[in-house]
Amino acid sequence: MGNVKRLLFFCPFSYGGLADYAHAQATALTVAGCDVTMLCQPEFISGHDSSSYRQVPLLAKLKEHNTSNVTGRLIRKVDNGLLIIKHISQLAAFIREHNFQHVLFASYVEYLAPLWAYKLRRLSKAGVRFGAVVHDPVRDFVVGPIWWHRYSIWSAYSFLSEAFVHEAIELDTVKEIPRLRTTVIPCGIFKFTEPDCSVTQMREGLDVPQDATLLLAFGHIRDGKNLDLVLKALVHFPDVYLVIAGKEQSSGQRPVSWYQRLAEELGVQHRCRWICRFIPEQEAANLFGCCDVVLLVYSAQFRSASGVLNVAANFRKPCLVSSGNGPLKSVVETYRLGTFNAPDSEEAIIDGLSKVLSAKDRFAMDWCGYERDYSWEKNAMITINTIYSCKSN
């Protein structure tokens, strides 16, 4: 029993790319020999049931709120902040109760860290080793005054021994943390079920011509995905159709109705298909299976890896991509998984679509090389070798 690698995996996200990543990584770690316990919310299990690693759905869930007015949105923000602090209290208690010595955060997060990080620093000083996957190393989304933002960033790093990133980078920890080590791990390809509808059936169901080019914008609908620029670019391609599939992100972002009004004004609404809700895996497989190109036209502020890219890779669909400098840009260009264009530019999207539509060799995409280098097996091997090394706190 002494040689068993017990790992507590802390995942407070119930759905979305971070939850999907956590589920895939926990599964790979289990296959690689770890005894993984996932501390999560009950809603996580409904979308990520597992027969390999242990799921403990003890984390409290966010209360339902009416966000149609200012008061409701303010109450939601306050409750969300309180929930973050409660989750950390539940994590600390679970670590002590079950004597975990190795803990992995599904994602680094700094929100309100000065109010909760001290609990984990105590455990770190007592010998518990903490690691976190830092999906977004550049923390330029400022909440509150800048001094608080910087203090929060340091606090959230202060108890960590290991930071796992998807591209070599010097983390801005504000103040030096001598014991913190940064390790690059690949973001693996998400394995999906096969489509259970043919391309012909799906296009008939979507009322899309069989010979039309079909674009897919998949995932949470939020401002940073530049959907407005895509709709404007669509004006220049009368034979191209677009499926928008995913939930609205949250209050504070443009609602779906805003984009639908814009599509009407531009005269492209008849070529848009809106599926604005949670998309189950089987339906997602059918959508990826019937599309021609996947859109990943993020803003310049996006500098991390993309979970949607790794779904597209599973179906070997070329991608139209934009972002800031980071792992998404690197892998698309290195393995020729599509075309990369300047971010936040309607003209760049038009140019990128023209390249996609005229490409005869589909960019000679190196899917085999990408699958070899960006596997969950490699992710798990590096993570295990790092977090269980004898480097002391």
Residue 250: predicted pLDDT: 65
Mean pLDDT for the stretch of residues 26-53 = 93
| Residues 271, 163 share a domain | no
Tell me the mean pLDDT in the region 291-305.
Answer: 90
Q: Is the pLDDT score of 2 beyond 60?
A: no
**Closest to 143 in 3D by CA, of 73, 204, 77, 201:** 77
**φ and ψ at 327, to 5 degrees?**
-65, -30
* % of the chain with per-residue pLDDT over 90: 69
Give the per-residue pLDDT at 94. 98
Higher pLDDT, 379 or 306: 379
pLDDT at 161: 97
pLDDT at 80: 86
Quick one: pLDDT at residue 243? 98
DSSP string covering 256-324, please? Answer: HHHHHHHHHHHT-GGGEEEE-S---HHHHHHHHHH-SEEEEE--TT--S--HHHHHHHHTT--EEEE-S
Tokens for 278, please give them: 């949670």
**382 and 353 fall within a common domain:** no
Judge whether 180 lies within some domain: yes
Maximum mean pLDDT: which of 39-53, 115-129, 271-285, 353-367: 115-129
Q: How many CB atoms lie within 10 A of CB 176?
A: 7
Phi and psi of 312, rounded to 5°? -60, -35
What phi and psi values does residue 131 have, to the nearest 5 degrees? -125, 160
Looking at residue 153, what is its pLDDT?
Answer: 95
Residues 139, 222: one domain?
no
334-350, pLDDT tens digit by residue? 999 989 999 999 999 99
In contact, 297 and 226? CB cutoff 8 Å = yes
Residues in CB range of 390: below 8 A, 6 or more apart: none
Does the pLDDT of residue 391 top 70, yes or no? Answer: no
Edge-to-edge strand order for the sheet containing 162-165? 54-56, 34-39, 5-10, 102-105, 129-133, 162-165, 181-184
352 falls in which pLDDT band (50, 70, 90)?
very high
317 and 183, same structural domain? Answer: no
CATH number at residue 17: 3.40.50.2000
The rounded distance, in Å, linking the Cα atoms of 223 and 298 is: 9
- Provide mean pLDDT across the span 57-61: 92
Verify that 167 and 232 share a domain, yes or no. Answer: no
Tens-place pLDDT, residues 242-291 = 999 998 876 668 899 999 999 999 999 999 999 999 898 899 999 999 99
- At 1 the pLDDT is 43
User: Is position 193 within any domain?
Assistant: no
Number of domains in the chain: 2
| Residue 194 covered by a domain | no
Residue 17 belongs to a domain: yes
Tell me which residue of 54, 50, 58, 46 sits closest to 14, measured CA to CA: 46
Does residue 112 sit within a domain?
yes
- Whether residues 352 and 380 share a domain: the answer is no
- The per-residue pLDDT for range 71-90, each reduced to its tens digit, is 777 777 888 889 999 999 99
Residue 143 pLDDT: 77
Q: What angle, rounded to 10 degrees, do the helices at 327-335 and 307-314 form?
A: 30
> What is the maximal distance between C-alpha atoms in the chain?
66
**Using one digit for the tens of pLDDT, what is the confidence trace for 216-256?**
999 889 899 999 999 999 999 999 999 999 988 766 688 99
Is 17 in the same domain as 153? yes
Is the same domain home to 87 and 215? no
Cα angle vertex 12, ends 6, 16, to 5°?
A: 115
Q: Are residues 161 and 203 in the same domain?
A: no
Mean pLDDT of the chain, nearest integer? 91
* Same domain for 358 and 333: yes
Average pLDDT over residues 137-165: 90
In one letter, which amino acid is 127?
Answer: G
Q: pLDDT value at position 67?
A: 58
Residues pairing with 165 in the sheet: 184
Whether the CB-CB separation of 130 and 120 falls below 8 Å is answered with yes
Question: What tokens appear for 176 in the block?
Answer: 């030096």
Mean pLDDT of 83-108: 97
Please report whether residue 329 resides in a domain. yes
Residue 227 belongs to some domain of the structure: yes
Asked if 246 contacts 276 with a C-beta cutoff of 8 angstroms, the reply is yes
Judge whether residue 63 has pLDDT over 80: no
| C-alpha distance from residue 159 to each of 92, 100, 127, 179, 336 (Å) | 12, 15, 11, 9, 39
Please tell me whether residues 43 and 132 are part of one structural domain. Answer: yes
> Could you tell me if 183 and 266 lie in one domain?
no
Is 99 within a domain? yes
Residue 316 belongs to what domain range? 199-373
pLDDT of 363: 57
